[in-house]
Chain A
């Protein structure tokens, strides 16, 4: 089986998704990196090169012609997201609640609704000759980043191995990042929070049906509960990254581990090798 798309995910935030995504991408040949955490992308911090804007991302949003509108309320009744409401003689539209489904435009009996682009964020590209990186930035105050993640995924180059850095959690943005991947690496910590959130992520990847394995980060800070769980559940443990203050210091400065401590390169390349052997 070809291994073209690998997503790095975790239920809990701050477990080391980005660390693993960046260092893994830097340790394998012919890779590219797509950071799908559009609410708080961090992968680019580990590259010296600046990110350059590639494109805007918009979703369609309705525009109401109030001269034609008869205040019949059909659009307000239809909208599942409560983005439209009629108050007396006034039509109120809450743009930030709109998902851009276009239903109001279809249901309007007098064609008072047209559509315009509602800007929700941008996509940027950076990195270098060896490793390109793409990420998205959701505008402040915008609630839904999934359309940006969908567009970002389109930049994956089939001739390369693409590493996707997922947003944290188990809700729709994480699902969108994991879906369509050939393999998912779940990153966790050997603590009660780490284990609990790992079990939630395992439920998600099992439901999506993506093969997956676990990397334990900051090994040594807690106990062996995550390892026991993986054994019980027959989940491959791909690597354990030690709790090393030097890793935390490099991270805080935005220096990749494989640059600051090249001895780790074998370990990251080993993660990729283990996955290839498992599949």
Chain B
């Protein structure tokens, strides 16, 4: 069976990505849950996953210098493009991007690239099925690589357990983690908040999805905080041939459900819950 993947992004943070994605995860049948926001993951707060397996994620290697061997020739400083070496050849590992040029140019083998434990990846169980997630250690590089690992784990879990759907809660922005969370998926849902910032950033998110040739759907969250902007979004989507699968009104149910550590659709059957359910029905039609 073909496994379908959908990623939820928004460009700007705080537009309701995780609130909406977690509700989809509660509504969908036979799925694997994925949190791809590895440097600020929140889905687990609503899913209370029981961790079944854990693996260490090694990011890019990091330079390690043996000062006893170092002859202060300055080659590492001259060739490092990331400012990880001072002119006196002192190494700042936190600035190292793992390129290994210093190791190559060092004439006395005083520098070695060593493994860097950059995070952990988990496979867990939740009340809605298996969940795949991760935690990047504070301030680490290579978050895109960790997202790629998480997505590979999700595919493996789907295959092993016969799931036919993977729902991915994506990270904010348009950089490496976003790219890693959407390449090759069947569908991207862009959640837009009708503030000028929300619109600005979501336009960039739509462009990234299109850049990688992924079909895009849009839903508007908190549409009533600025109905004029909402109209503009609807017009833009119409002009661009992007389907708008629904609008959700501003509703403090989202916060209340979060305080109760539940998804919106579990917490209440009110208007927000209804709106999300209708959106999910629309998405299912497109996905199948």
Contact = CB atoms under 8 A, between A and B. Distances in A.
Interface of A: 11-15, 18, 37, 39-40, 42, 45, 60, 78, 80-81, 96, 99-103, 106-107, 138, 140-145, 167-175, 191-193, 196-197, 200, 203-204, 207-208, 221-223, 248-249, 251-254
Interface string B136-165: 101111011000000000000000000000
Interface string B10-49: 0111110010000000000000000001111010010000
Contacts of A175: 94, 139
B81 A197 contact: no
Contacts of A252: 194-196, 198, 225-226, 229
Nearest to B98: A80
Nearest to B19: A193
Contact of B12 (A42, A60, A96, A142): A42
B139 A170 contact: yes
Contacts of A192: 42, 45, 258-259, 261
B176 interface: yes
B173 interface: yes
A143 B179 contact: yes
Nearest to A15: B14
Interface stretch (B66-74, B122-130, B204-212, B265-273): B204-212
A266 B13 CA distance: 28
A223 B40 CA distance: 21
B40 A253 contact: no
Nearest to A37: B173
Contacts of B14: 12-15
B234 to A, nearest CB: 16
Nearest to A144: B176
B173 A143 contact: no
B282 interface: no
B100 interface: yes
20 contacts: A39-B11, A39-B173, A40-B204, A42-B12, A45-B200, A103-B99, A140-B204, A141-B179, A169-B143, A170-B136, A174-B139, A191-B255, A191-B258, A192-B45, A196-B45, A203-B139, A204-B139, A207-B139, A252-B195, A253-B226
B60 A172 contact: no
A69 B242 CA distance: 45
B105 interface: yes
B139 A208 contact: yes
Contact of A196 (B42, B79, B194, B252): B42
A103 B100 contact: yes
Given A80-B60, A172-B140, A193 B42 contact: yes
Contacts of A172: 139-141, 143
Nearest to B61: A80
Shortest 9 CB-CB contacts between residues of A and residues of B? A13-B13, A14-B14, A101-B99, A143-B176, A39-B173, A40-B201, A252-B195, A203-B138, A252-B226
Contacts of B211: 140-141
A193 B47 CA distance: 13
A140 to B, nearest CB: 5
B171 interface: yes
B174 A140 contact: yes
Contacts of A42: 12, 196-197, 200-201
A90 B42 CA distance: 43
A171 B13 contact: no
Nearest to B42: A193
B49 to A, nearest CB: 14
B101 interface: yes
Given A207-B139, A253-B226, A167 B173 contact: yes
B11 to A, nearest CB: 5
B176 A140 contact: no
B204 A39 contact: yes
A203 B139 CA distance: 8
A103 B113 CA distance: 14
B172 interface: yes
Nearest to A17: B13
Contacts of A200: 39-40, 138
Contact of B212 (A39, A45, A138, A141): A141
Contacts of B40: 11-13, 168-170, 197, 200
Of B104, B141, B172, B211, the most chain A CB neighbours within 10 A belong to B172
Nearest to B171: A169
Contacts of B259: 191-192, 222-223
Nearest to A16: B14
B5 interface: no
B176 to A, nearest CB: 4
Contacts of A14: 12-15, 172
A39 B175 contact: yes
B255 A221 contact: yes
Contact of A140 (B207, B252, B255): B207
Contacts of A102: 79, 81, 101
B223 to A, nearest CB: 11
A249 B195 CA distance: 8
A181 B90 CA distance: 21
Contacts of B13: 12-15, 168
A103 B140 contact: no
A13 B13 CA distance: 4
